[in-house]
Amino acid sequence: MRIPGRLVTFLMLLPTLAGWGLARGQEAAAPTGVTQTPPTVEKPNPLKRRLGDKEKIQQQKDLKQELRGDYKKWLDEDVRWIITPPEEEAFKHLSNDEERDAFIESFWQRRNPSPDSPENEYRDEIYARIAYANEHFAAGKPGWMTDRGHIYIAYGAPDDKDQHPSGGEYERPMDEGGGTTAVYPFEVWHYRYIEGIGDNIDLEFVDTCQCGDFHYTIDRSEKDALKNVPNAGLTQSEEDGQSEKKDRFSSAGLEQLGLGPRSQQNQSKQFDRLDLAAKIMAPPVIKYQDLEAFMTSSKILTGPPFLFDVRTDYMKVTNDTVMVPITLQIKNSDITFDTKDGVSVGKVEIEGRVSNITHKIVPGGTFEAPVEVSTPSELLPATQKGSSVYWQDVPLKPGLYKIDIAIKDVNNPDHIGRWTRSVNVPKFDDDTLGHSSLILADVMRRVPSKEIGGGSFVLGDTFVRPRVGVVPPGGGVAAPAAFSRAQTLNFWMQVYNLGIDDKSKQNDATVTYQIVNLATSKPVLDTQESTKKLSPNADQLTLEKSLSLAGFQPGTYQLSIKIDDAVSKQQTEESAKFTVN
């Protein structure tokens, strides 16, 4: 629930002024040559004076009267779970319907993912969610008033649900103590990501009254219908005699789950559960509101544009999912550094979003991140010659999307940049020989087993940091990725759907690597290898190679990788340019 003397001035007129010889009812004679202007008394402004108690009460009554009808419904029902306290307070202090109409229009426009469109998808989505909540979550009160309705309206449908609509026998997971008990009806909603809150969010709702009113709880023991029944619904620890049921109620923690193998972990996470409850019940927020406003408007920059370069790649995850790594490269010389106590620190805020052709932001399609560059002040000139790279991978289905990215220089708030492009995520058909993006990297190495499959720049078991081509200052096509002769050229690519011979159960394809000097059109590398020697029984192959550039003359080159599959009789090829300085 949101918690949203009278000053009187006296003029003292003296009845007699001895120096002027005035008496009551007489006028003073002005000195010769002087025009006397009577003193001006400023009248008090009735709009600026403080209100008395009776006037305040009357004003509140008038406000309640004015907010009846559609405006009251809009504030109390339509936007109850998404309006911020400052917005609510501001709306309540508007004085007429014209101001309220303008406020409502601005309220929805600030949240419109496509401000240039005549339609407002966010507003339409909210009203659709309210209708769904009223239809599915009503329980002696409208669905929008319930906790499930609140969460559904604010954050949309969960990505997954664990539903127990009738309660009954329940096998506890080990983090709840294990053992078997009987439970009230309950549901657990799982969100893969909620903007401003985090990843992998589980929200539990329990119907202890068994009347259909599922309320949100941070106490997972609340669904236990036998919790207060002696010697019933015992946990595994209680069944083994390692603890007694009464021990559950002697703890001062949030949950009464009893002792178990993970009870210490549960106690340590109780503040996390309180923090989640506070965040989930608050209106949805945007972390970098100024960047969000910048991306959803045609704001004119007051300072120099903050330039940065972006690269997108594609690699198959499943038949319906493609991983799209997005790599940002920012020149350190474009970042404003703040030097204190011998340390220079530059900070950049990044916000991005991925939307589909209907302008709707896709699940998991938003990302926010701070990037910090810190260096001893004496090394700042050297640091400014380098670049900072940020990576974000987004899983997408094949199709057409738009990517919007905005960045802000924290130490220079007017230094803002924006990048917008459409991307066509390819479809990898099962019966077609295909390949991922060809990534040229300045760093490529194996990662520890605990980092496999996750983290920035990690593809499978390999750390791959792409080299991003720089767009010329006037715009246009990005220049090829640049390397020095002292560096190593690393390249990474995956091959999909290699044919497998029915008899030998092996693949049989030839991979050809060729690097051509574009100035002379002469190859400086031309070599082949067989997939039988790389991974003979696999239909998917990862190509990872490193090549010293010490012997390369300065210039522009093109790397080509060609796969010729003798089993499926198909070919595929990919190429990428790079320069050597």
**With 90 as the cut, is the pLDDT of residue 366 above it?**
no
Closest CA to 561 of 542, 539, 536: 542
Residue 18 is predicted with a pLDDT of: 35
Residue 30 is predicted with a pLDDT of: 37
Closest CA to 410 of 338, 467, 478, 355: 338
The answer to whether 85 and 4 have CB atoms below 8 angstroms apart is: yes
What's the mean pLDDT in 53-73? Answer: 66
d(CA 10, CA 6): 13
d(CA 327, CA 247): 52
- Of 410-414, 472-476, 553-557, 571-575, the poorest mean pLDDT is in 472-476
**With 50 as the cut, is the pLDDT of residue 91 above it?**
yes
Global pTM exceeds 0.75: no
Which DSSP string corresponds to 25-40?
T--PPPPTT-PPPPPP
d(CA 406, CA 353): 9
- Of 192-201, 229-238, 483-492, 515-524, the poorest mean pLDDT is in 192-201
Residue 193 is predicted with a pLDDT of: 86
Residue 12 is predicted with a pLDDT of: 34
Confidence of residue 36 (pLDDT cuts 50, 70, 90): very low
- Token digits of residue 493: 């690519």
**With 60 as the cut, is the pLDDT of residue 46 above it?**
no
Residues pairing with 202 in the sheet: 190
How remote is the C-alpha of 309 from its chain's centroid?
20
Confidence of residue 121 (pLDDT cuts 50, 70, 90): confident
Q: What angle do CA 196, 201, 205 make, to 5 degrees?
A: 120
What's the mean pLDDT in 497-517? Answer: 95
The answer to whether 469 and 311 have CB atoms below 8 angstroms apart is: yes
d(CA 572, CA 574): 7
Higher pLDDT among residues 162 and 454, named by residue: 162
User: For residue 207, what is the enclosing H or E element?
Assistant: none
How remote is the C-alpha of 538 from its chain's centroid?
37
Q: Roughly what angle, to the nearest 10 degrees, separates helices 147-155 and 121-136?
A: 160
Confidence of residue 48 (pLDDT cuts 50, 70, 90): very low
pLDDT digits (tens, 9 = 90+) for 204-213: 999 999 999 9
Confidence of residue 215 (pLDDT cuts 50, 70, 90): very high
**With 90 as the cut, is the pLDDT of residue 75 above it?**
yes
Confidence of residue 87 (pLDDT cuts 50, 70, 90): confident
**With 80 as the cut, is the pLDDT of residue 2 above it?**
no
Confidence of residue 31 (pLDDT cuts 50, 70, 90): very low
What's the mean pLDDT in 453-460? Answer: 83
Residue 476 is predicted with a pLDDT of: 66
The answer to whether 444 and 457 have CB atoms below 8 angstroms apart is: no
pLDDT digits (tens, 9 = 90+) for 216-235: 999 999 999 999 899 899 98
Closest CA to 330 of 375, 389, 268: 389
Residue 61 is predicted with a pLDDT of: 57
217 φ/ψ sector (left φ>0, alpha ψ -120 to 50, else beta): beta
Dihedral angle of Cα 328, 333, 337, 339, to the nearest 10 degrees: 140
Confidence of residue 564 (pLDDT cuts 50, 70, 90): very high
Residue 521 is predicted with a pLDDT of: 94
Q: Helix or strand or coil: residue 179?
A: coil
Q: How many CB atoms lie within 10 A of CB 185?
A: 21
What's the mean pLDDT in 425-447? Answer: 93
Residue 363 is predicted with a pLDDT of: 82
Residue 323 is predicted with a pLDDT of: 94
Closest CA to 184 of 195, 169, 172: 169
**With 60 as the cut, is the pLDDT of residue 376 above it?**
yes
Confidence of residue 136 (pLDDT cuts 50, 70, 90): very high
Closest CA to 335 of 375, 278, 378: 375
Question: Domains, the chain, ranges and CATH?
Answer: 65-157 (no CATH), 159-254 (no CATH), 286-428 (2.60.40.10), 429-581 (2.60.40.3880)
Average pLDDT of the chain is: 83
Residue 95 is predicted with a pLDDT of: 80
Higher pLDDT among residues 258 and 290, named by residue: 258
d(CA 494, CA 535): 12
Please, what sign has the CA dihedral across residues 521, 527, 532, 535? negative
Residue with the two structure tokens 């401003």: 196
Closest CA to 270 of 252, 254, 281, 257: 254
d(CA 557, CA 570): 27
